[in-house]
Amino acid sequence: MKLQWRLAALKNGFQDATAYRVEFLFEILGSALVPAAIQWVLWYALFQLGGATQVAGMSYMDLIHYTFVSLLFSQVRGGDHDFELAEMIRSGQLSNYLLRPVGVVEFVYIRGVASRLFIAGLCLTLGVILAQFLGFSGPRMIGAMFLALLGNIIHYQVGAALATTAFLWEEAYSLLMVKNMVVNLLSGELIPLNLFPPSLQWIWKSTPFYLFVFGPTQYALGHWSHTEFFTQVGIALVWIGLGRALIRGTWGLGMKRYLSLGG
Amino acid sequence: MKLKIKRYLDVYGIQFKNNLVREAVYRTNFLTAVTVDLIWMGVEVSLFSILYANTQTIAGWSREQVYFFLGIFFSSDALFTILFQRNFWAFSDLVNKGELDILLTKPIHPLFLALSRSMNLTAVFNVILGLIISARYAGPAGFTGGWHWLEWGAWLIFGLYAALQMRFLFSIWIFWTDRSWAFSRLYYQFFAFATKPDTIYPKAIRYLILTALPFAFIGSVPARALLHGLSAYEYVGAAGVLISLTGINSILWKKGLGRYQSASS
């Protein structure tokens, strides 16, 4: 039974995401190609136009490789299902879910993650093919994708905890937008995090966001040893444990305030 | 003609008053919206700060010049947010749900009504913040100032008009598709090109954002014009692009209306 509803939610989420196939395709292309082009342009400006030979110890080709490989993982980290949770609280739709014999936070996650799993599969295939041409290791790509999927869970947990502010202020949209912007910069999606000046490196190191894109990319490119990788997987699991506790706490408090009025 | 203009101004005045009342009611919304915008600006500025921690110039742009550009870009984008952003998000519902019907029956251009109904007055704060950033870095960036600040205002309107035309170009397809979310998202993906000075782009991309999808007109071209001036060729080219875009949008609007079937009826 437990597995059955989860599989049903996964199937439902996948059907929902692909109901409008053209939109789905546009979304993937738009969210992949344009950010990659922007990154590439920055490296082009620094190296080809600016004449730099190395930036923070990285060559032009190092940065190009980073851009292409990080693109595969940045497609996995996303998902707007935390926004869905906030909207359910705000509108009172949450009541419908409370009547069901399933955990609402997990249900929304599973339904929302379906499309990401599909994308992760595509990206992994692409990554393994890319690895053959660029001389990376295929198994490393699989490990990196595993870390990216752990990152996806952490990302949702942070969003689900933030969404509970909707119990207090009705509206959590802005807070979730702020979270997305911060994640955008601190996950390594915009630029490699080792470009941060040494005095500012603590900023990204003290959040779990680097595990979403930067970490998987570092491992896939061979910049992290296997030991480092397994340490980071351990750290990710600790963050997941903390996230779970955070969700229990915030949702427990939030449900005490919930009025189910909507509007 | 005078009467017509007065009628449009009167309608706009009423829309403005309605929006002002709405903003006054949702005060928390004001605070959260300002916070989101501040973080967004912070991320953009941080990105360049990190890059400039590793290099002196990027494609000939010094740190101060880029910040000056960002100030213009923030102001121009905020102006668009105030006047049009919410209306474009609601545009697909107008067509999908048949809400356009009611606008078509009014004795005023339906597009004027569709694009002036909602305003996001909280973004006024961002226009001011953009101006402050521009003013702060104007001198070190090499902007001569003085009466040229009037040009700053004119270029802001230029950027606003370019953004309006492009956003419309990405929204009009709702007449042909079931949902326009993908196109709207695509607009914001391409919008990222507007957040960097156009001269840093390779030729092909630069050509694209100066012609077919003139995202560089939002902040980059105005910043270049204010800092170094543009060539006569660039002035003519920019005017040509905006006139063409306006023409294409007019044709698409008319064709779209021809397909409109009033889904609600």
Give the best-scoring range by mean pLDDT among A145-154, B41-50, B99-108: A145-154
A112-128 pLDDT tens trace: 888 788 878 888 888 88
Closest CA to A109 of A97, A121, A99: A97
- Chain A nearest CA to B45, separation (Å): 11
- Assess whether A78 and A28 both reside in one domain: no
Q: Read off the pLDDT of each residue in A40-66 and give the average, rounded to a whole number.
A: 85
Say which range, A27-31, A61-65, A105-109, has the weakest mean pLDDT. Answer: A27-31
B59 pLDDT more than 50: yes
What is the C-alpha separation between A211 and A157, in angstroms, rounded? Answer: 14
B265 pLDDT more than 50: no
Q: Do A185 and B58 touch (CB under 8 A)?
A: no
What is the C-alpha separation between B153 and B161, in angstroms, rounded? Answer: 13
Total CB pairs under 8 A between chain A and B: 103
Interface test with chain A among B27, B46, B56, B193, by most A beta carbons within 10 Å: B46
Q: Do A184 and B43 touch (CB under 8 A)?
A: yes
Q: Do B193 and A196 touch (CB under 8 A)?
A: no
A59-104 pLDDT tens trace: 898 899 899 888 888 888 777 788 888 888 887 788 877 777 778 8
The pLDDT, as a whole number, for residue B28 is: 67
Residue that finishes a domain, picked among A37, A52, A67: A52
The pLDDT, as a whole number, for residue A23 is: 67
Residue A37 or residue B238, greater confidence: B238
What is the C-alpha separation between A241 and A212, in angstroms, rounded? Answer: 16
Confidence grade of residue B102 (pLDDT, cut at 50, 70, 90): confident
- Assess whether A153 and A83 both reside in one domain: yes
Q: Which residues of A touch B216 (CB under 8 A)?
A: none
- Chain A nearest CA to B37, separation (Å): 9
A10 touches chain B (CB under 8 A): no
The pLDDT, as a whole number, for residue A210 is: 94
The pLDDT, as a whole number, for residue B154 is: 93
The pLDDT, as a whole number, for residue A252 is: 85
Mean pLDDT of chain A: 84
Give the rounded distance of the alpha carbon of B9 from its chain centre: 21
Q: Do A191 and B29 touch (CB under 8 A)?
A: no
Q: Read off the pLDDT of each residue in A24-30 and give the average, rounded to a whole number.
A: 68
Say which range, A9-23, A151-165, B114-128, has the weakest mean pLDDT. Answer: A9-23
What is the C-alpha separation between B160 and B166, in angstroms, rounded? Answer: 10
What is the C-alpha separation between B264 and B98, in angstroms, rounded? Answer: 5
Query: In terms of CA atoms, which chain B residue is nearest residue A171?
Result: B29
Work out how many domains chain A is built from and give that number: 2
Do residues B195 and B44 make contact, with C-beta atoms less than 8 angstroms apart? yes
- Amino acid (one-letter) located at A165: T
Q: Which residues of A touch B201 (CB under 8 A)?
A: 41, 44-45
Q: Which residues of B touch A35 (CB under 8 A)?
A: 189, 192
The pLDDT, as a whole number, for residue A263 is: 47
Say which range, A29-38, A150-159, B252-261, has the weakest mean pLDDT. Answer: A29-38
A31 touches chain B (CB under 8 A): yes
Do residues B117 and B90 make contact, with C-beta atoms less than 8 angstroms apart? yes
What is the C-alpha separation between A221 and A65, in angstroms, rounded? Answer: 8
Mean pLDDT of chain B: 87
- Assess whether A61 and A38 both reside in one domain: no
Q: Do B185 and A26 touch (CB under 8 A)?
A: yes
Q: Which residues of B touch A185 (CB under 8 A)?
A: 43, 46-47
- Assess whether A116 and A186 both reside in one domain: yes
Query: In terms of CA atoms, which chain A residue is nearest residue B199?
Result: A45
A170-192 pLDDT tens trace: 677 778 888 888 898 899 988 89
Q: Which residues of B touch A42 (CB under 8 A)?
A: 51, 58, 196, 200
* DSSP-assigned beta bridge partners for residue B57: B62
- Assess whether A212 and A246 both reside in one domain: yes
- Assess whether A215 and A93 both reside in one domain: yes
- Chain A nearest CA to B107, separation (Å): 34
- Assess whether A229 and A167 both reside in one domain: yes
The two structure tokens encoding residue B255: 């064709």
Q: Which residues of B touch A197 (CB under 8 A)?
A: 50, 53
B165-201 pLDDT tens trace: 999 999 998 888 766 677 787 888 888 889 899 988 8
Query: In terms of CA atoms, which chain B residue is nearest residue A22?
Result: B182
- Find the domain containing A223 and state its range: 55-262
Residue that finishes a domain, picked among A34, A52, A70: A52
- Chain B nearest CA to A41, separation (Å): 6
Residue that finishes a domain, picked among A13, A29, A52: A52
A37 touches chain B (CB under 8 A): yes
- Assess whether A106 and A198 both reside in one domain: yes
- Chain A nearest CA to B259, separation (Å): 21
Could you tell me the residue ranges of all domains in chain B? Answer: 2-264
B112-126 pLDDT tens trace: 999 988 888 888 888
The pLDDT, as a whole number, for residue A6 is: 79
The pLDDT, as a whole number, for residue A20 is: 66
Q: Read off the pLDDT of each residue in B6-19 and give the average, rounded to a whole number.
A: 88
Cα A76 to Cα A108, A122, A126, B20: the distances in Å are 17, 10, 13, 41
What is the C-alpha separation between A101 and A83, in angstroms, rounded? Answer: 22
- Assess whether A178 and A230 both reside in one domain: yes
Backbone angles phi, psi at B178, to 5 degrees: -75, -40
Residue A259 or residue B13, greater confidence: B13
- Assess whether A9 and A81 both reside in one domain: no
- Assess whether A249 and A124 both reside in one domain: yes
Residue A30 makes CB contacts below 8 A (sequence gap 6+) with: B182, B185, B186, B189, B190
Residue B78 or residue A28, greater confidence: B78
What is the C-alpha separation between B123 and B84, in angstroms, rounded? Answer: 11
What is the C-alpha separation between B59 and B97, in angstroms, rounded? Answer: 48
Confidence grade of residue B235 (pLDDT, cut at 50, 70, 90): very high
Do residues A159 and A208 make contact, with C-beta atoms less than 8 angstroms apart? no
- Assess whether A103 and A221 both reside in one domain: yes
The pLDDT, as a whole number, for residue A117 is: 82
Write the residue in B33, B46, B193 that is nearest to A38 by C-beta: B193
